[in-house]
Amino acid sequence: MSTLGSTVNVKIVEVGPRDGLQNETRVLTIEQRVKLINMLSASGLREIEAGSFVSPKWVPQMQGTTEVLAKIDRVPHVNYPVLIPNLKGLEVALLSADYAPINSIAIFTAASERFCQKNINCSIDESLNRFRDLIPLAIARNIPVRGYLSCITACPYEGRIGSKAVIRVAKALMELGCYEISLGDTIGVARPGEINQLLKDFESEGLSASLALHCHDTYGQALANIYAALERGIRTFDSAVAGLGGCPYAQGSSGNVSTEDVLYLMDGCGMNTGVNLNQVIEAGRYICQELNRNNQSKVANATRGGNP
């Protein structure tokens, strides 16, 4: 048993209904997405990405996010963040807020210039400039803003990314008003030593208090990286039920680390998540049936209710 301790709460940010589904080839109905979110809400998860306000021309899987937000069974004390690409996206989201409330949003950029250009068609600094009006507007409406930062150790176009580049962008996002920065190993090539060093570098800058980790499992290192981050004091981790998703801008990138596997790890470390693993496994079983895809969770496949 780990000595990390049983009294520390760990927050799991469930990204399957947004980051996961947007990278699946099959486009689900509103009803299917609502059912998935409701099943996840019932499990005890406190943060569940519900969708995004990106143009359906580019991300058809997220079309109808307003309807999803209006129809889900909202559980008290659960946040249902949505991804917002720019000020226009936020304005569209706020227009429907009376019947489809927005209680949290996320924005995204990268530590790699070429990835930023490929992903959102602008430079890093241009992406930050987009947020200078967006974030104050959200905060004025009492909507907290979370920042996603991609390519924290490597980029599919530039290769290895140094910690100085990552810290520069993370610091800028914090100064703009993000309450938390989710550090993304976008193509899943990081190893525990690299995660450990990056977090040490953040600590040396006094910036470690508001960090989360978002791992992909391309090289099978996600759980090892999460454990390394646990030992450095990180207590918020992104994951996707059944390991949904991938990265369309990173060839060969596998899905997010599965929520089921992360929960199993946390339980073994004596960490309290407040989430019912069996209910998450059932949600993973449901969504894999709807998508006609294999369940990527090792834990789900080792127990009843793995592959459909």
**Extents of the domains making up the chain:** 11-302
Number of C-alpha atoms within 13 angstroms, CB side, residue 110?
A: 26
pTM: 0.94
| Partner residues linked to 149 by β-bridges | 109, 183
Q: Which of 6, 49, 20 is nearest to 230 (CA)?
A: 6
Residues β-bridged to residue 158: none
What is the token pair recorded at 18? 């947004």
Return the closest-CA partner of residue 21 out of 307, 300, 306, 290: 290
247 catalytic per annotation: yes
Predicted local distance difference test score (pLDDT) of residue 209: 87
CB neighbour class for 2 (10 Å; exposed up to 12, middle 13-18, buried from 19): middle
* CA dist 49 → 181, 191, 239 (Å): 15, 26, 10
Per residue of the chain (308 residues), give pLDDT as tens. 344 544 549 999 999 999 999 989 899 999 999 999 999 999 999 999 999 999 888 899 999 999 999 999 999 999 999 999 999 999 999 998 888 999 999 999 999 999 999 888 999 999 999 999 999 999 999 999 999 999 999 999 999 999 999 999 999 999 999 999 999 999 999 999 999 999 999 999 999 889 999 999 999 999 999 999 999 999 999 999 999 986 655 565 668 999 999 999 999 999 999 999 999 999 999 999 999 999 999 999 999 745 54
Q: Which of 151, 215, 247, 288 is catalytic?
A: 247
Burial of 32 (0-12, 13-18, 19+ CB in 10 A): middle
Among 55, 16, 73, 61, smallest CA distance to 239 is for: 16
CATH 3.20.20.70 fits 11-302, yes or no: yes
Return the closest-CA partner of residue 238 out of 216, 271, 268, 221. 216
